[in-house]
Structures are given as C-alpha cells and as structure tokens.
Amino acid sequence: MAFHLYFLRRLLFVIPTLLGITAMAFIIANAIPADPVVANLPQNVLNNEEVVNNFRAKWGLDKPPLEQYFTYLGNLLQGDLGTSIRSRNPVAQDLANFFPATFELATYGIIFGIGVGVGFGVVSAIWRNTILDYVLRTFSLIGVSFPVFLLALIGLSVFYVQLGWVGGPGRLGVRFSEPPLVTGWFTIDALLAGQWATFSNAFSRIVLPAIILGSFVSGIIARITRSSLLNVLGMDYVRTARSKGLRERGAIWRHALPNAMIPVVTVIGLSYSNLLTGAVLTESIFAWPGIGRYMFRASTSYDFPAIMGGSMVIAAIYVGVNFFVDILYYFLDPRIRFS
C-alpha cells in the first residue's frame, strides 16, 4: 500500500474516536448528580436566586443537554474549549499553561523507561534463564508492582532529604525565576537562555519524578522486549542467518532485534500516551503543575468546561500518539508496505 493511502486511512480512523470522546466526556459531566453551582459559588449566595440563575445562564447550564453538546462541538471546531469555572481562564489557555510541565516530565520518563526497559529485555532474552535474567525480571516486576506514590516517597526521603542528590518537589526552586518561554520545558529554555544555574536546578528536580514514572514503564517494556525477542530468535530466518555463519551478535542485532521491535514500539507508544495523560499520582506528590493535577482539581470541583476540555486534549494526545505509532509500523513492518 502506498504511504499516502495508508496515512489517509489511519487518519480517517481518528475522527470517530475523537467524536466519541467528546460525547463520553459530555455524558460523564452531565450524569454527575453533583451541582457545579454548589461547588463553585460561595455558600452565602446560594440562596440568592438571581446570582444562581445568572451563573447557570453564563455557563450554559440552563439549556437542554443536547443543545449544550452541539454548542460545545461548534465552539470546539473554532478552537474554543470554553472557560474554566474554577480558574476563570479559557480552558485552552489553562491547558497550554499546564501541558508543557507534563510533556517535559513524560518525555524524560519515557526516555529512561525505553533505555532501561529495552536494555533489560534484550539482556534477559540473550542470557535467558540465567541468574542475570531472573534478577532483571524481578526488577521489572518490582517496577510494575510498587505503587508510584511509595516509590516517590522512598525516592524523596533517600535522594532528596537524606543524600541531597536531587531537588525537592516542584519544577523550580523559589529562588529561581522561570526561564524565558520558548518551548515551555524549563530545562531546554534555561539552556537556550544560557542560565546554567536555572538549568541545573530544573534538571535536579525533574530527575527523580522522571525515573519514578519511567520505572513503571520500563518494567512493561522489558517484559515485552524479552518475550518478543525470544519469539523472534526461534524463527527460521534467524536460524538461517546463524547457519550462514553470522556471529550471534550479528544475528541478534541485524535480524532479530528489528523484527522484535514491532510489539515493543506499540507498548512504548501506549506507555508514552499514558505518561502524557495520566500521571496524576506522580504530579500530585511532586507538586508538578501538569495536566494530571489540573484534571484532578477540575474533577473534584465539578469544573465541567475544564473536565471536557482536558478530556478532549488527553484523548487527542492518546489518539495522536497511536496514530504516530501506526505510521511507524509502516516503516517497521514490510508486510504493510507490500500488502
């Protein structure tokens, strides 16, 4: 299949999913028996009918649900996600403020996860059923079994409180001002501005949460890499490569690994979108001003526009990463190209 056809076909699958997500976010937001009026207006004006009615009219809460939904979709098409009830900022602006923090953290996390996960997986597969294999597999299992909040607290008390090797919670120390905004990543922006002290502070604060996020992911990646590589190593073409006299290392790196990577790439994509969207626990312990914390606060204060807008963006990220993975398949898996 030609690349542009494949690309268009994948793109078409994205639209119904996104529509479905808006519908689902809307249904959840509306099925909530809780009243946003109570959650967002001060106690003393709740009996004042005029204030309450104005509030409902302002946020469109007085219109029938279906009309609310279509109004929302219409605004969405113009890039308008509505205004957050809690922060009183446009949701799009809120999300733009909170997203870079999550993006930076998730990216550092996934880099650690891929490095450790693929490394452990390959080593485990090559030296399968040795002590080394068992040790690495147990590590991977620990990574997926320990609650992130426990790892975070252990990490903070050992490496921050006791040893002082890393910075504390938050993106930047109070003594530092944010570097001039370019990418929204404090580490990169500080480097671009040549602010070395700011860079090292930002970096020392992101290392620990990134490793903790990455350790869960690395456990999953290691398991998939190991089983996928073992599976491929048993295939005929790897045997052929070996019987041609190729050294073991050549057989693994040149023939087995590229083919074993297909399921691994899927898992990496899935994990990355999870990190980008669902790191609520890590963000709350490390006081990280990201999407997860934003959504957490939106949900607990029944801030419907923020919940809907956040869900939309989260779903779009999820769908976007999957789309990217599908595109990668095209290059990794020759069967797609020639079918």
Partner 1 sequence: MIHASASPRRFSLRDFARRNPLVVVGVVVIIVWITMALLAPVLAPRDPLDQDVMIRMQPPSVEHRFGTDELGRDMFSRVLYGGQTTIPAGLIVVAVGSLIGTFIGAIAGYIGGIWDEIMMRLTELVMAFPTIILALAITAALGPNIRTAIIALVVVWWPGYARVVRGLVLEAKAQDYVEAMRALGATGPYILFRTILPNCISPAIILATLDIGTAILTFAGLSFLGLGPEPSSPEWGRMVSSGVNLFDQWWTWLFPGLAIAFLVLAFNFIGDGLRDLLDPRLRNR
Binding residues for partner 1, per CB under 8 A? Answer: 16-17, 20-21, 24, 28-29, 31-34, 128-129, 137-138, 141-142, 144-150, 153-154, 156-157, 161, 223, 227, 230-231, 234, 274, 277-278, 280-281, 284-285, 292, 295-296, 299-300, 302, 307, 310-311, 314-315, 318-319
- Residue 305: CB partners within 8 Å, gap ≥ 6? 59, 81, 82, 83, 84, 85, 91
Nearer to partner 1, 21 or 81 (CB): 21
CB of 295 to partner 1, least distance (A): 5
Nearer to partner 1, 180 or 234 (CB): 234
- The alpha helices in the chain, defined as continuous H runs, are 3-31, 36-40, 49-58, 65-77, 91-126, 131-145, 148-155, 186-192, 196-233, 236-243, 248-250, 257-278, 280-285, 291-300, 304-332, 334-338
Nearer to partner 1, 39 or 193 (CB): 39
CB of 317 to partner 1, least distance (A): 10
| Burial track 101-125 (b if 16+ CB lie within 10 A, e otherwise) | bbbbbbbbbbebbbebbbebbbbbb
CB of 21 to partner 1, least distance (A): 6
Nearer to partner 1, 116 or 312 (CB): 312
CB of 280 to partner 1, least distance (A): 5
CB of 83 to partner 1, least distance (A): 19
Pick from 192, 205, 323, 311: which is nearest to 266 by CA?
323
Nearer to partner 1, 33 or 64 (CB): 33
Nearer to partner 1, 113 or 179 (CB): 113
CB of 106 to partner 1, least distance (A): 12
- Residue 46: CB partners within 8 Å, gap ≥ 6? 37, 38, 52
Scan for tokens 């990543």, then name that residue.
185
Report whether 219 contacts 143 (CB < 8 A): yes
The amino acid at residue 282 is T
Nearer to partner 1, 119 or 320 (CB): 320
CB of 298 to partner 1, least distance (A): 9
- Residue 90's φ and ψ, nearest 5 degrees, are -55, 135
- Residue 54: CB partners within 8 Å, gap ≥ 6? none
Q: Which two tokens stand for residue 90?
A: 């446009």
